[in-house]
């Protein structure tokens, strides 16, 4: 039997960021690695996820998920290989999805690990298109926004892990028009040429509202919001009657140090009979089997495309996270642990 490692590196939050996270708010530390106890498994992480929601967990405020503790290893989605097991459900060599990322080795309670099949999809896909971002897109579009064939759909942050999937899923289910916004000319081109969006624009080129009106002259029925701020206000103006918005994220204001004013046109909710609803993926786990079956079919057929932006090395975990907040990723941002 191969000897287990005695130490491994993990990222710790050492100070709560004020505004944009700084390198000195984080520390990569060597921590002990021990044999797992009964009912637990030891996993050598191969990939871990960095996600926008993690910025909120760095603040010491009450929210839908507990804040990160200072001077403790951070967590998040990860996939890896079991290297020691004291649970009959898992064997050494199994690949698993679990929630203890941001580290090289994870001591995981077996009930919180899920086997994944590397023959069906690359392991990193279970952190993106077949993981939390994919289910967020699926549930947010079909269950929360009540998408129906013929709807015109607008997606902000459309080149990201969630947004890129929302637009394609809408097209596959018969959207009349899909519009996306992104932060560079290259990403805008990617949206139309690879993901099949009908129109896309660069929100940095000017105010969002006129660009959206030009891209969707007949209005929109569904807005999938990953950004908030100006994008939400523009969507409210472009909504048709009975428009629906899924509020998934507001990355435009995650690093603000002062309260962000809300849209100035909220009165439109009344006359247009709009519905704005937040989405948390944990509320929709019952959709998981249907989601995996349908989306994996789209992947196998080539109908659904996905991208990953991979940053190599645990030592670059902070850079990957800040790059995500700056919009430097196309598709899912992944940290891959080179060996």
- Interval 26-51: pLDDT, tens: 999 999 999 999 999 999 999 999 99
According to DSSP, the residues that pair with 334 across neighbouring strands are 49, 310
Using 50, 70 and 90 to split pLDDT, how confident is the model at 339?
low
Residue 290 has pLDDT above 90, yes or no: yes
- Give the number of other CB atoms < 10 A from CB of residue 301: 9
CATH (residue range 132-282): 3.40.50.720
Domain positions in the chain are 7-128+307-336, 132-282
**Burial letters 182-209, b for 16+ CB under 10 A, else e:** bbeeebbebbeebbbbbbbbbbeeeebb
Give the least confident one: 1-5, 77-81, 94-98, 276-280. 1-5
Average pLDDT over residues 129-137: 94
Residue 252 has pLDDT above 80, yes or no: no
Give the least confident one: 208-212, 260-264, 320-324. 260-264
Pick the CATH number of 7-128+307-336 from 3.20.20.70, 3.40.50.300, 3.30.70.3190, 3.90.180.10: 3.90.180.10
pLDDT score recorded for residue 82: 98
Sign of CA dihedral 158, 161, 162, 165: positive
Helix-strand-coil percent breakdown of the chain, rounded to 5?
30, 25, 40
Residue 255 has pLDDT above 80, yes or no: no
Residue 65 has pLDDT above 70, yes or no: yes
Give the least confident one: 76-80, 258-262, 314-318. 258-262
CA distance 43 to 100: 9
90-110 confidence digits (pLDDT tens): 999 999 999 999 999 999 999
Mean model confidence pLDDT for the chain: 94
pLDDT score recorded for residue 257: 59
């Amino acid at each position: 039997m191969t000897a287990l490692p005695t130490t491994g590196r993990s990222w710790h939050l050492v100070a709560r960021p004020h505004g944009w996270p700084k390198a000195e708010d984080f520390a990569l530390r060597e921590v002990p690695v021990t044999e797992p106890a009964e009912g637990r498994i030891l996993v050598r992480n191969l990939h871990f996820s960095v996600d926008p929601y993690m910025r909120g967990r760095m603040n010491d405020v009450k929210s839908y998920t507990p804040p990160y503790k200072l001077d403790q290893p951070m967590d998040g989605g990860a996939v890896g290989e079991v290297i020691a097991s004291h649970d009959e459900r898992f064997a050494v060599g199994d690949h698993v999805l679990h929630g203890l990322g941001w580290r090289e080795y994870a001591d995981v309670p077996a009930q919180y690990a899920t086997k994944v099949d590397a023959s069906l999809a690359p392991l990193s896909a279970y952190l993106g298109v077949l993981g939390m971002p994919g289910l967020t897109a699926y549930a947010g579009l079909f269950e929360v926004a009540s998408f129906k064939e013929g709807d015109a759909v607008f997606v902000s942050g459309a080149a990201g892990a969630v947004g890129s999937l929302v637009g394609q899923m809408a097209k596959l289910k018969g959207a009349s028009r899909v519009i996306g916004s992104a932060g560079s000319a290259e990403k805008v081109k990617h949206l139309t040429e690879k993901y099949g969006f009908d129109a896309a624009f660069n929100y940095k080129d000017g105010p969002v509202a006129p660009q959206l009106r030009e891209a969707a002259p007949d209005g929109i029925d569904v807005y999938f919001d990953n950004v908030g701020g100006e994008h939400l206000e523009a969507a409210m103006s472009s909504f048709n009657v009975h428009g629906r918005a899924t509020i998934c994220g507001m990355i435009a204001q995650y690093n603000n140090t002062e309260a962000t004013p809300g849209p100035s046109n909220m009165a439109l909710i009344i006359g247009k009979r709009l519905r704005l609803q937040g989405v948390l993926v944990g509320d929709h786990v019952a959709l998981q089997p249907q989601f995996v079956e349908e989306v994996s079919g789209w992947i196998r057929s080539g109908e659904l495309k996905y991208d990953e932006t991979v940053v190599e090395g645990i030592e670059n975990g902070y850079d990957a996270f800040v790059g995500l907040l700056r919009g430097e990723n196309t598709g899912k941002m992944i940290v891959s642990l080179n060996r």
